[in-house]
Chain A
Amino acid sequence: MEEYEMFGYYLDLALRSLKRNRVLTALMVLALALGIGATITTLTVLRLLSGDPLPQKSAQLFYPQVDPYPAGKPFSRSGQMPWLMSYVDAMNLLHAGKAQRQTALARSRVKVMPKTQEGKPFYADSVMTTADFFPMFDAPFQYGAGWSAADDDSRAQVAVIAGFLNDKLFGGANSVGRMIRIEDHDFRVIGVLKPWAPQPRFYGLHLGGRDYGNGEGVFMPLLGARADGIGPSMMMSYGPGASMEHLETSPSIWLGVWLELPDASAVSAYRLFLADYAQQQVALGRFQKSRTALSGLMQWLRNEHVVPDDARLQTGMAFGFLLICVVNTVGLLLAKCLRRSREIGVRRALGASRSAIFGQFMAEAAIVGVAGGALGLVFAELGLWGIRHQPAQYASLAHLNLPMFLFTFVVALAASLVAGLLPAWRACAVAPAPQLKAN
């Protein structure tokens, strides 16, 4: 109880002192708020960019890579593994079925023709994939369900569509069983997804298309879509004779393969299998290099530098900025404290302990911190508003959430308390006697 009263007393003293030097106080709060605002703005963006796109599942998802490139014409001069897989390798891995679940996919932009007379054709982002895609990535269904492995093999002309496309084409009604026309072929709708769009779209990396924002509108069986001549957005060739028409047989990589491996033993077993597979391909003469890679989802995102350098630079700069603001606050608080040496001397002579003086100055710093945090929040909102008007894909997703909101005050308080340490220590070191004598 007594401590609580003491704290209230320090607060009261601090407030009085801050009021006495309004301009100086305003300067401190403003400087701290600018630093906090910049830091929180960039941290929000960084968190958005480096976040886990599928938190409940990411630890079990893995991306395998093999290298079919000839030794003399490598995929990259810096020794990177090829980003994608050829059709033959992807199908070999899928059919081997060594993982709990496995899927191969490519992205494409497809023309969708509404059934109604007045409807105009439009383009939608799509994914060509295999049956395991939906259960592996926890895609939630509003109506119906995904297709089966048998549908994959029979090249079924079926499609799963996103909720927003269902709204656009069928007014949001249950459209399972209805037909939609994609690239001049009829597909039967067998499922409608609830809003679902992992950020970033980890499975679409290097497959063309957008990595942030709304998800794809159409999901089709890979073989069925290929039978209709629908081609992928991204294709890279590693030998002569690669062409869009003969994708399945030509030396080109255009598919991403994903695996679900439930535990560490499954991962190491798959590693062995993959190494074996590459050795076999070398023996068969299909590969010249037997190197392989198997990365977890988050590792894959880190390897491929999903967080742009600009965002990192901005964050680094914001922290530099915050550091300068803290130094600034230390200087100003110290100036204030030294100016009040006489007052401190008097209080000390009248019996205030060193810790009382220390507490009083730290309370002052804390008040500056909380005020700086509040104003910093305003600056952060302004900064994020600015980010949302940037041309980046992720721009529209930049919002302050509750944890960041609380974090703002933690940062502000921590910064101001660190800034307050030196002045408070100097203040409590003031000796009582000389100050009285001077007068």
Chain B
Amino acid sequence: MELRPIFSTLRRHKTTAWLLILEIALTCAIVCNAVFLIGQRLQRMDLPSGIAEHELVQIQLGPIGKNADAKAQSATDLAALRQIAGVRQAAMTNQMPFSCCSDSTGSIMLDPHQQQGTAQVAEFMGGAGLLSTLGAELVEGRDFQPSEYVDFDAAVQALHDGNARGLPQEIILTRGLAERLWPGQEALGRTVYFGDALPFRVIGVVASLARPKQLEQGVQYSAVLPIRMTVADGSSYILRTAPQDREAILKAAVAKLKQLDPNRVVLVKRTYDDARREYFAGDRAMAGILVGVILALLTVTALGIVGLASFWVGQRRRTIGVRRALGATRGDILHYFQAENFLLASFGIALGMVLAYGINLFLMLHYELPRLPGIYFPVGALVLWGIGQLAVLGPALRAANVPPVVATRSV
């Protein structure tokens, strides 16, 4: 296809051509960045938690003031919950991966004299069976032994008295955290320090266990401590069951707990899937809004192309008629308009890519976003070329249908 006639025609419609190029460029820039943002959100929503997500339900009861019986009551509750048909395992934990509200963290150190912590670590605490109830996969070492567990209130008292012996001596880390602390080396048997140089020996490594919040601190930087929790510390009951039984188990468990003490308040009762969905609800909403904006933008741009192309076709009816009379086929006319649109879109895309890069730089500065990956440029170009061709098809076909006789007619 000869491009020279297209150029010379466009030169006569400089302003409108530039406007179209500008519109395509702006659209390209915004769409590239919006798609990138969507990708970021989806990636976040897809993060692995490391636990048996579809088999867990969570129940949190309101703490009952200063209840000296909290320990006994939690034990009774757990025993009763394990009795429910369909409950495979039950445990208490202070927090769950990707879920709101509870989030206990501490600064981990490799050396007791270190001035600043090496990483901010999420501290999971719970009694016997926590890891297996959650379904976190132990890849190295062992789980805690019964003698290694310490009660939460005793641990707090020991911490307050500065008595390191009252605290647990063992810890289990995630593989991600172990890799961060000792890249490429064995983690088992090493010692880490928390708080005022309190030592903990690494006895196990789990494949993965995501932290509850503050994901920017390192999604996988979690540790498990052998500390028995009770209802009084705001901890939750976690039940593991078959995926299809979750709703029924949740109901039965709440009924059982209320039966044990009708005055208790249930603060949270949900399947883990719901907890996770709730946690990422904001990301999902943002991704939805971005999709909406992209669709609206592409629609507006397509409508703009249709409008301008129709106008050009109307204006050039005579010229088209002359060309047809001089032997140009319908295909020639069709291709002419398609090529013209392709050319304008290419200019727009080239300009748009520069703009997209600029906007991305701005976002990187102000919103801590990563760099736009190169793959977005060719994909964005293909999409806009496609939309341009789709939008111009109607007007171009109309142009192709202009009969040669128009040339001889005076308007």
Partners in one complex: yes
- The residues of A with any CB-CB pair to B shorter than 8 Å are 24, 27-28, 30-31, 34-35, 38, 72-74, 77, 111, 120-123, 183-184, 229, 239-246, 250, 309-310, 313-314, 317-318, 320-321, 323-325, 327-328, 330-332, 334-336, 338-339, 386, 390-392, 422, 426
A310 touches B300 (CB 8 A): no
Residue of B nearest to A422 (CB): B15
Residue of A nearest to B115 (CB): A72
Contacts of A313 in B (CB 8 A): 37, 363, 367
Q: How far is the CA of A241 from the CA of B198 in the complex (A)?
A: 12
Q: How far is the CA of A331 from the CA of B309 in the complex (A)?
A: 11
Report the interface size class on chain B: 35 or more
Contacts of A318 in B (CB 8 A): 293
Residue of A nearest to B264 (CB): A121
Distance from A23 Cβ to chain B, minimum over Cβ atoms (Å): 8
Contacts of A241 in B (CB 8 A): 159-162
Q: A240-B196, A324-B297, A328-B301 are in contact. Are A314 and B289 (CB under 8 A)?
A: yes
The 5 A-B residue pairs with the shortest CB-CB distance in the complex, in nearest-first order = A391-B281, A335-B311, A240-B196, A331-B19, A328-B304
Distance from A231 Cβ to chain B, minimum over Cβ atoms (Å): 9
Option from A242, A314, A324, A391 in Cβ contact (under 8 Å) with B27 = A324
Q: A338-B16, A338-B315 are in contact. Are A317 and B159 (CB under 8 A)?
A: no
Q: A38-B293, A324-B27, A331-B23 are in contact. Are A310 and B286 (CB under 8 A)?
A: yes
A31 touches B65 (CB 8 A): no
Q: How far is the CA of A386 from the CA of B296 in the complex (A)?
A: 15
Contacts of B29 in A (CB 8 A): 320
Contacts of A390 in B (CB 8 A): 282, 285
Q: Given A320-B29, A327-B26, A331-B307, 17 other A-B contacts at CB below 8 A?
A: A24-B307, A27-B303, A27-B306, A27-B307, A30-B303, A31-B304, A34-B300, A229-B65, A241-B159, A243-B159, A310-B286, A323-B26, A324-B23, A331-B308, A334-B15, A334-B19, A390-B282
Distance from A325 Cβ to chain B, minimum over Cβ atoms (Å): 6
Q: How far is the CA of A121 from the CA of B62 in the complex (A)?
A: 10
Q: Does B263 contact A (CB under 8 A)?
A: yes
Q: A73-B107, A310-B282, A327-B26 are in contact. Are A111 and B304 (CB under 8 A)?
A: no
- Provide 12 A-B residue pairs closer than 8 Å at the C-beta atoms, listed in order of the A residue: A27-B304, A27-B306, A34-B300, A73-B115, A77-B116, A121-B62, A243-B159, A243-B160, A313-B367, A324-B23, A327-B22, A327-B304
A317 touches B66 (CB 8 A): no
Main secondary structure of the interface of B (DSSP, over half): helix
- In chain B, residues 302-332, which have Cβ atoms closer than 8 Å to a Cβ of chain A? 303-304, 306-308, 310-312, 314-315
Option from B26, B159, B367 in Cβ contact (under 8 Å) with A320 = B26
0/1 interface trace, chain B 53-86, chain A, CB 8 Å (1 if under): 0000000001011100000000000000000000
Q: Does B227 contact A (CB under 8 A)?
A: no
Option from A27, A229, A339, A426 in Cβ contact (under 8 Å) with B15 = A426
B30 touches A320 (CB 8 A): yes
B315 touches A240 (CB 8 A): no
A392 touches B285 (CB 8 A): yes
- In chain B, residues 33-59, which have Cβ atoms closer than 8 Å to a Cβ of chain A? 34, 37
Contacts of B299 in A (CB 8 A): 34
Q: A241-B159, A339-B314 are in contact. Are A35 and B19 (CB under 8 A)?
A: no
Q: Does B358 contact A (CB under 8 A)?
A: no
Residue of B nearest to A328 (CB): B304
Q: A321-B30, A324-B23, A330-B19 are in contact. Are A35 and B300 (CB under 8 A)?
A: yes
Residue of B nearest to A327 (CB): B23
A123 touches B62 (CB 8 A): yes
Option from A73, A320, A332 in Cβ contact (under 8 Å) with B308 = A332
- In chain B, residues 256-306, which have Cβ atoms closer than 8 Å to a Cβ of chain A? 263, 265, 267, 278, 281-282, 285-286, 289-290, 293, 296-297, 299-301, 303-304, 306
B303 touches A245 (CB 8 A): no
Residue of B nearest to A335 (CB): B311
Contacts of B117 in A (CB 8 A): 73
Q: A240-B195, A243-B159, A324-B23 are in contact. Are A331 and B304 (CB under 8 A)?
A: yes
A324 touches B301 (CB 8 A): yes
Contacts of A77 in B (CB 8 A): 116
A392 touches B282 (CB 8 A): yes
B160 touches A339 (CB 8 A): no
Q: How far is the CA of A239 from the CA of B197 in the complex (A)?
A: 11
A184 touches B65 (CB 8 A): yes
A324 touches B308 (CB 8 A): no
Distance from B394 Cβ to chain A, minimum over Cβ atoms (Å): 11
Q: How far is the CA of A330 from the CA of B18 in the complex (A)?
A: 11
Contacts of B161 in A (CB 8 A): 241
Contacts of B16 in A (CB 8 A): 331, 334-335, 338
Contacts of A31 in B (CB 8 A): 300, 303-304
Contacts of B267 in A (CB 8 A): 123
Q: Does B242 contact A (CB under 8 A)?
A: no
Contacts of A391 in B (CB 8 A): 278, 281-282, 285
Contacts of A321 in B (CB 8 A): 30, 293, 296-297, 300
Q: Does B20 contact A (CB under 8 A)?
A: yes
Q: How far is the CA of A318 from the CA of B292 in the complex (A)?
A: 11
Residue of A nearest to B303 (CB): A27
Contacts of B296 in A (CB 8 A): 34, 38, 321
A309 touches B367 (CB 8 A): yes
Q: How far is the CA of A222 from the CA of B16 in the complex (A)?
A: 69
Contacts of A74 in B (CB 8 A): 116
Q: How far is the CA of A374 from the CA of B115 in the complex (A)?
A: 62
Option from A27, A30, A183, A317 in Cβ contact (under 8 Å) with B30 = A317
Contacts of B162 in A (CB 8 A): 240-241
Option from A123, A184, A246 in Cβ contact (under 8 Å) with B265 = A123
